[in-house]
Amino acid sequence: MCSLALAMQDAGWTVRGSDTDESFITDAILTTRGINICQLTDDLPSDLDLIVYSAAYQAPTTSVRTISLAEALAEFVHDKKIIAVAGVGGKTTTTAMLAALFHSAGRDVGYYVGTGSISGLDAPGHAGSDPYFVIEADEYAISKTDKRPKFALLTPQILITTNIIHDHPDIYQDESATARVFADLVASIPSGGTWIANPADPLTAQILSLQGETLKGTSLASTSDSESRQVKVIQYGSDHPLYSRLELSVFGDQNKLDALAGVLAGIESGLSETDALAAIKAYKGAGRRQESHGEVAGRLLYDDYGHHPREIELTVQSFKEHFPGRRLILVFESHTYSRTEALLQEFARSIALADLAFIMPIFESAREKGVAHTVTTKSFAGLIPGATALTWDNATDVIWSASKPGDLILTMGAGFVYKLHEQFKLK
């Protein structure tokens, strides 16, 4: 919501908002840009032309034109060539990398990124004057009543799929349902468009082979009674010729793969190979993605948004490889009861990769209010050897007491676990 609000403000709209009174990572940029936020319970102003609402809430009852975030974004970019970045993990990082890449290359490409800040850029959302527009393409439902994925409303000229993994069990029953909506997204690429895909990902490989389409060299050819469609397919991975030429300010194999996908998209949009490789160096990080909070009493503090078992596994591995001499303490806040319950065993296995684990209370999304659940913080922690269940009242003291100089404390999750770092800094 924040990123679209900022882009619309760029384009000349007068923007206001409503929200809960909780502090969040988007607060600073909204304040800087003078976008006033009232309470969700306040009456709507009388001088509105348009209301955009989040999928987490019901649309308000009003005579003013009211559309969902997904619909508003699709309308906002209707005349742009869209570079869509989709995937259950890595899409925020890859989209932020592309925003930084284009900015460094001198291209005023618009962008929409799901974070509060991107190092070196003024904001996570920007209107842009370039024909291209970069979008973090979300697979979650459009609204409480429209269960199609948000990205179903987009027609990408260039599509990056970082990976395709079963997530959002409240929307997608199983892996097949997840694969189906991503296959539909690939099928929406117009003739002459490009799909940048990692074939090492099993469901990506499945879509390549099972769409009723035949992979021929670098083209995906689809023929029906009414049309013939040619889509360029660029496969990327650690064996790609450009992979070894990447120079980044961030660490980890997954970041390198995300950067490679971004470079390839930059080249497809008109940058030279040399310029794209040089421009990707401008990416220094984004809010809540391997974000450093400094060092306190010999302990390195980091935060990451990872909230799916596969993301946790990759992130923990990258930190262990980058900081081999440090004990890694993982503090995890699971996001939504439905995801936690559906992927409980996978969560337990990935969290167990840390040297020491702490489990925060499970984040109950607004969309889950009043829904019965079975898992608790204590039962979750009980599945992980040596893990400790915490409360928000005791978390800071318990974690700090269990840590020692030389440790790395990594908070992870899509809720508010990052706020613990402000308390650690007071130690």
CATH of the domain at 151: 3.40.1190.10
Q: Give yes or no: residues 271 and 347 share one domain.
A: no
- For residue 21, the enclosing domain spans 2-67
| Whether 395 and 251 share a structural domain | no
Total domains present in the chain = 3
Q: Return the pLDDT at 225.
A: 40
User: 282, 304, 320: which is the final residue of a domain?
Assistant: 282
Residues 267 and 312 in one domain: no
Question: What dihedral do alpha carbons 8, 11, 16, 21 form, nearest 10°?
Answer: 50
Residue 215 has a pLDDT of: 42
Residue 220 confidence (pLDDT): 59
Q: Are residues 386 and 328 in the same domain?
A: yes
Q: Tell me the C-alpha distance between 331 and 409, whole Å.
A: 7
In one letter, which amino acid is 348?
A
Can you give the pLDDT of all 427 residues of the chain as single tens digits?
Answer: 999 999 999 999 999 999 988 889 999 999 999 999 999 889 999 999 999 999 888 899 999 999 999 999 999 999 999 999 999 889 999 999 999 999 999 999 999 999 999 999 999 999 999 999 999 999 999 998 999 999 999 999 999 999 999 999 889 999 999 999 999 999 999 999 999 999 999 999 999 987 544 444 445 555 444 456 789 999 999 999 999 999 999 999 999 999 999 999 999 999 999 999 999 999 999 999 999 999 999 999 999 999 999 999 999 999 999 999 999 999 999 999 999 999 999 999 999 999 999 999 999 887 787 788 999 999 999 999 999 999 999 999 999 999 999 999 999 999 999 999 999 999 9
Question: Is residue 207 located within the same domain as residue 306?
Answer: no
Do 81 and 49 reside in the same domain of the chain? no
Q: What is the pLDDT of residue 132?
A: 98
- pLDDT in the model for residue 371: 83
Residues 190 and 275 in one domain: yes
CATH code, 328:
3.90.190.20
Q: Of the candidates 67, 86, 110, which is a domain's last residue?
A: 67
- The pLDDT of residue 217 is 41
Contact 89, 314 (CB under 8 A): yes
SS (H, E, C) the chain: CHHHHHHHHHCCCCCCEEECCCCCCCHHHHHHCCCCEEECCCCCCCCCCCEEECCCCCCCCCCCCEEEHHHHHHHHCCCCEEEEEECCCCHHHHHHHHHHHHHHCCCCCEEECCCCCECCCCCCEECCCCCEEEEECCCCECCCCCCCEHHHHCCCCEEEECCCCCCCCCCCCCHHHHHHHHHHHHHCCCCCCEEEECCCCHHHHHHHHHCCCEEECCEEEEECCCCEEEEEEEECCCCCCCHHHCCCCCCCHHHHHHHHHHHHHHHHCCCCHHHHHHHHHHCCCECCECEEEEEECCEEEEEECCCCHHHHHHHHHHHHHHCCCCCEEEEECCECHHHHHHCHHHHHHHHCCCCEEEECCCECCHHHCCCCCCCCHHHHHCCCCCCEECCCCCHHHHHHHHCCCCCEEEEECCCCHHHHHHHHCCC
The contacts of residue 370 (CB under 8 Å, 6+ apart) are none
Residues 213, 77 share a domain: yes
**Given this model, what pLDDT does residue 224 score?**
47
Residue 15's pLDDT is what?
97
Q: Are residues 79 and 62 in the same domain?
A: no
316 and 355 in a single domain? The answer is yes
Q: Are residues 195 and 166 in the same domain?
A: yes
Of 52, 67, 82, which residue constitutes the final position of a domain?
Answer: 67
Looking up tokens 């402000």 gives 422
Whether the predicted model's global pTM rises above the 0.85 cut: yes
The reply to whether 80 and 62 lie within a common domain is no
